[in-house]
Chain A
Amino acid sequence: MGLLGRVLLWGWALAVLAFLVLPLFVIVPLSFNAGGFLTFPMPGWSLRWYVELWHAEIWWRAFANSLYVGVLATLIATLLGTLAAIGLAFGDFPGRAALTGLLLSPMVVPLVIVAAGVYFFYLRLGLVNSLEGLALAHAALGAPFPLVTVSATLAGFDRNLIRAAQSLGAPPWTVLRRVLLPLVAPGVVSGALFAFVTSFDELVVALFLTGPGQRTLPRQMFDGIRENLSPTILAVATILVVLAVLLLGAAELLRRRGQRLRGLEP
């Protein structure tokens, strides 16, 4: 490729990266705005919106609800997803591809369909307007992620490791605990992170299944954005961007650890 081509390519690539990242950082300074408008230039810097947020009980409640739903959904999704991943990795039973397709389908089915379906279903069970009901629906949406990440750590898994442990006299439980689990652990944790974020960020199902008493963080933000996009919401958004950075860092560390354990990278 000529110099011109290289310059054009990199100019384009960097512009696209800026398009991806800059919008996230436009909102960060505005959340420290001393004024109440969401425009530049800002009259000055201040923490007033964070102070307001700190004292806003409605946001704390929403955060607590989201955390509760997220943790519950993550526990269910990770347990079920990990088991299924191990099963799919070790069993060449017939219909495995179709089963995998079915188990992964919550990733692609439009959220509004899941939301409407579960809403009608819960109306009959009396589970509408309960955080636990929401967590169960979120667990279904999150389960494919641990399934995928654990499968990835098991791809190219050397079954001789298990045979070696068995031949040295290890009972099945020890094989699981000392050989299999350490190898899949990074996949389990990163799958759990994905499942948690899926639930923590999920709005459509929450809109259908929760009432004013069970507002989650995304629901609270959605109402806020629709009514009046205030600096307080941008303060919440900034905190969520910081959270995203932390989660991304954790996921990346786990991915590298998983690769190292499998000997894919030095």
Chain B
Amino acid sequence: MAAGAAARDLAREVRITGRRRRLAAFALTLPLLAFLLVFFVLPILGMLRLAVSNTEMAEALPASTRAFRAWTGGGPPPPELVDRFARELVEARAARRLARFAKRLNYERTGYRTLILKTARRLARMEPPFDLATLAAIDRRWAEPAVWAAIRRAAQPWTDLYVLAVLDLARDAEGRIVPVPPERAVYLDILARTFRIALVVTLACLALGYPLAYALAHLPERHANLLMIGVLLPFWTSLLVRTAAWIVILQREGPLNELLRWLGLIDAPLELVFRRPAVYVAMTHVLLPFMVLPVYSVMRTIHPSYVRAALSLGATPWTAFRRVYLPLSLPGVTAGALLVFILALGYYITPALVGGASDQMISYFVAFYTLQTINWGMAAALGSLLLIATLALYLLFARLVGVERLRFG
């Protein structure tokens, strides 16, 4: 009995020690986890929130905002609501709080910004109370239900305006989701372009990288390591250096045009830079190592005896490659292709420097809306779309390949 009790005690002690060890190990990951939460996860979540944030009217016209949220009827708003809204417009103008609300309303329909500013200016010189007729006398648009519907949407705590906009959709006066007019429908085009560029670059990396990895994997390791320097060197070189190099190479009087002219292939220099092919070439150059490295490391683990067995059983070299080697190398291809595609989706600097206006990808527009036009809702909505696509592919990567294979160099 005593021996049994001692064994139970020992088992308990082992369990406790194990638990304590696991806890200590987890505690070691906490500093990085906390750091990333503050400087990485929270900022990104904050950005996601901006995509549906709708605070401009609440900040400029708090009382009207509450009233508009409570208003449920259709048609023109009740007189007391119109009066409160008009009075508050005048107050907000005096307090210089109107600009952001006017800009926000302009996203609902172009021209509403000036409508708000003009109306507030004119109302400031009149005596309250104000009614719908006063407003309509200032501008006929106040007699239409569309502007009131837009204000009601601006008064809500959240908005789907930006998320709809990046899908080339908008709400009409009755609140239905409709496609925007063709001349304003640009974002689906940008999305498609971004995915197309990422796809082309991924395929180009695969076509260039797979044979190179194959050749390197069939060399003695010492020699392969030497040639691998060629793959790793660009990897360690600044992105800007590589991009600058491509501008130099592809420019009108650059070495490539000189070479083509010397070969007699062209008479006049080609315009190569600031065109789509330049984007493809430069991005492929930058991302190729991310393809070669995982494919190579998987190929290194494929034992030659498999292919030899296939050959000895009468398979042609092509069949042996197709039926034996290729399937065995697929995990590396999956890892490389997903990684290149994920990284390519988020590209900004390279297309910005070597591409033209019609070669810019989503990231460019996120930066544009954040820093140039200060339309943070659009920036956040586009960013959210890009983030969702990236995370979906990252989950796929984790599922198919495993995050522990996410290593460079």
Contacts and interface: CB of A to CB of B under 8 A. Distances in A.
Contact of B387 (A110, A120, A221): A110
Contacts of A110: 345-346, 348, 363, 386-387, 390
A118 B43 CA distance: 5
A131 interface: no
A54 interface: no
A229 B248 contact: yes
Contact of A225 (B233, B236, B247, B363): B247
A47 interface: no
Interface residues of A, number: 96
B248 A194 contact: no
Contacts of A148: 406-408
A24 B376 CA distance: 38
A23 B234 CA distance: 9
Contacts of B231: 17, 20
A144 B254 CA distance: 39
B121 to A, nearest CB: 30
Interface string A87-126: 1111111000101111111111111111111111100000
A186 interface: no
Given A12-B212, A24-B237, A112-B348, A139 B47 contact: no
B47 A116 contact: yes
Given A13-B216, A93-B25, A143-B32, A237 B244 contact: yes
B403 A113 contact: no
Contacts of B408: 145, 148, 194
A53 interface: no
A39 B254 contact: yes
B193 interface: no
Contact of A38 (B208, B248, B353, B409): B248
Given A26-B255, A136-B39, A208-B371, A16 B209 contact: yes
Which of B41, B245, B289 gathers the greatest number of chain A CB atoms within 10 Å?
B245
A17 to B, nearest CB: 4
A139 B39 contact: yes
Contact of A91 (B24, B247, B288, B363): B24
B298 interface: no
B28 A83 contact: yes
A197 interface: yes
B285 A80 contact: no
B122 interface: no
Contact of A17 (B41, B225, B230): B230
Given A13-B216, A87-B25, A221-B240, A107 B234 contact: no
B48 to A, nearest CB: 8
Contacts of B227: 17
A73 B233 CA distance: 23
Contact of B248 (A19, A30, A86, A136): A30
A76 interface: yes
Contact of A88 (B25, B46, B391): B25
B380 interface: yes
B156 interface: no
B394 A105 contact: yes
A247 interface: yes
Contacts of A185: none
A74 interface: no
B398 interface: yes
A17 B390 contact: no
Contact of B29 (A84, A120, A248): A84
Q: Is the interface of A mostly helix, strand, loop or mixed?
A: helix
A152 B101 CA distance: 54
A173 interface: no
Given A152-B407, A203-B349, A222-B240, A116 B380 contact: yes
A27 B33 contact: no
Interface string B173-200: 0000000000000000000000000000
B251 interface: yes
Interface in B235-277: 235-249, 251, 253-255, 258
Given A27-B248, A111-B346, A13 B215 contact: yes
Contacts of B289: 20
Given A9-B211, A140-B35, A240 B21 contact: no
Contacts of A218: 238-240
B212 A208 contact: no
A240 B35 contact: no
B201 interface: no
Nearest to A220: B240
B31 interface: yes
B241 A240 contact: yes
Contacts of A147: 32
Interface in B372-390: 376, 379-380, 383, 386-387, 390
Given A103-B32, A109-B346, A116-B380, 10 more contacts: A20-B233, A24-B237, A24-B242, A84-B33, A102-B33, A110-B363, A117-B46, A218-B239, A225-B247, A248-B235
Interface of A: 1-2, 5, 9-10, 12-13, 16-17, 19-21, 23-24, 26-27, 30, 37-40, 76, 79-81, 83-84, 86-93, 97, 99-121, 136-137, 139-140, 143-145, 147-149, 151-152, 194, 197, 200-201, 203-204, 207-208, 218, 221-222, 225-226, 229, 233-234, 237, 240-241, 244-245, 247-248, 251-252
19 contacts: A5-B317, A17-B231, A19-B285, A23-B245, A24-B234, A24-B242, A27-B248, A40-B258, A87-B25, A93-B22, A97-B398, A99-B33, A108-B397, A112-B363, A113-B390, A116-B380, A139-B39, A225-B247, A241-B237
Q: Lowest 9 A-B CB distances belong to which pairs? A: A91-B25, A110-B346, A87-B28, A117-B43, A13-B215, A121-B43, A112-B363, A80-B32, A117-B47
